[in-house]
Amino acid sequence: MMRICALCILLSAATVYAQPVPPPAPVPAPVPPPVPSPSPPEKGTSNESLHEGGDARPWAAGVTPENQKKALEMFREGNQAHNDGLFAKAVEIYRAALKFWDHPAIHYNMALSLTNLEKPIEVEAELQASIKFGAGPLEKGKFEHAKQSLLLIEQQLATIEVSCQKEGARVSIDNKEVFVVAAGKPNVYKARVRIGKHTFVAEKPGYATGLDAPFIGPGETFRIELKLYTAEELTRYSRRWKAKWMPYAVMGGGVVAGAVGFALARSAQSSYDDFDTAVRKCNEQLGPNGGCMTNDANLDLRDSGDSKKTAAYIGYGIAGAAIVTGGVLLYLNRSQAYQISSDDYRREQLEKERAGAKQITVTPVVSPDMAGAMVFGRF
């Protein structure tokens, strides 16, 4: 806002009224209107500098006296609106006057009104048009003031160059659509913008929205190519743990524990069978009351079977817990999809290109006179 006010003061210092001695006004008065007659003005008039160069005035070439007269009338009307503080109305009148005569002084005065409306982009365009033919069309001193004002304006603006090559995509800047990508066209948008943060968006059905919101500084030229990618291109998969083998290892441990438990159960049953056989043989020799059931050797067989049976049950329990735990871990570590941003995708592609560029190829070379290898590298 301070820069805009400074520009208003600078431009105001360069203005004069259409009348020789006007009453004081609260706003800067515009440059006096151009005179439609091609003859030099009378000495001492306020618009004397408009006719420097005599008849060789390129800004008047091809403009009929009638159109010059209409432009002059509208120009004076615009000056009055400007002096009354009706800046929007003044701009409208000046633009209408330019249709009859594209005179640099009209552009200059319109820049004054636009400055009060705080439209630096349009002010810059009008000031550039006002100095197109040099100092000739403007009053003395106005040309230098216009150039100084342009220097101030340039510190408030930046240049953008936005492109997109995805056919059918709609490109918007700051929520305003600027173009639709079409085949055979440049599909590039160039413009001046105020300094600050701006959003650049490209959209097309079936593609992830391309979005960038950088901060653009004074005098900067910001170039960006908006690229669109399908959801498939931006989809990545991740797991909770990088060790994908962990759930399977736990389940595998459970299977092993179950197998050990099964082996122990079979061994326990074998011990019981040996115990039964020993007791039967003992009874055949000593009779039913021969104490075969309490024989130490036979008791060892039964105790061994009991121990193995207990161990088998423990193994089964461990196996069941491990398999269940492994299943839970397998579910928790399942592959889950997520999407990366367009910037991340471009960064990935750049890293792949760099990695591909750093390659070394070794090719064996065998000939009657030599044997060796040829090394080819790219860095």
Instruction: Specify which of 28-32, 260-264, 299-303 reaches the highest per-range mean pLDDT.
Output: 260-264
**Pick the residue with more confidence: 40 or 10?**
10
Instruction: Identify the pLDDT of residue 263.
Output: 93
Instruction: Reply yes or no on whether the pLDDT at 250 is more than 60.
Output: yes
Instruction: Reply yes or no on whether the pLDDT at 108 is more than 80.
Output: yes
Instruction: Identify the pLDDT of residue 9.
Output: 38
CA distances to 237, 333, 369 from 242, in Å = 12, 9, 52
**pLDDT band for position 244 (50/70/90)?**
confident
pTM for the model stands at 0.58
Mean per-residue pLDDT, 57-62: 86
Nearest alpha-carbon partner for 10 in 133, 158, 120, 135: 120
Percent of residues, the chain, with pLDDT higher than 70: 76
Instruction: Reply yes or no on whether the pLDDT at 101 is more than 70.
Output: yes
Instruction: Identify the pLDDT of residue 278.
Output: 79
Instruction: Specify which of 112-126, 279-293, 322-336 reaches the highest per-range mean pLDDT.
Output: 112-126
**pLDDT band for position 366 (50/70/90)?**
low
**pLDDT band for position 139 (50/70/90)?**
confident
**pLDDT band for position 285 (50/70/90)?**
confident
Instruction: Identify the pLDDT of residue 339.
Output: 86
Mean per-residue pLDDT, 233-255: 88
Q: If DSSP states are collapsed to H, E and C, what string results for the chain?
A: CHHHHHHHHHHHCCCCCCCCCCCCCCCCCCCCCCCCCCCCCCCCCCCHHHHCCCCCCHHHCCCCHHHHHHHHHHHHHHHHHHHCCCHHHHHHHHHHHHCCCCCHHHHHHHHHHHHHCCCHHHHHHHHHHHCCCCCCCCCCCHHHHHHHHHHHHHCCEEEEEEEECCCCCEEEECCEEEEECCCCCCCEEEEEEECEECCEEEECCCEECEEECCEECCCCEEEEEECCEEHHHHEEEECCCCCCHHHHHHHHHHHHHHHHHHHHHHHHHHHHHHHHHHHHHHHHHHCCCCCHHHCHHHHHHHHHHHHHHHHHHHHHHHHHHHHHHHHHHHHHCCCEEEECCHHHHHHHHHHHHHHHHCEEEEEEEECCCCEEEEEEEEC
pLDDT in tens, 259-280: 998 999 888 888 888 878 877 8
Instruction: Reply yes or no on whether the pLDDT at 295 is more than 50.
Output: yes
Mean per-residue pLDDT, 91-107: 95
Instruction: Identify the pLDDT of residue 335.
Output: 87
- Mean pLDDT of the chain, nearest integer: 80
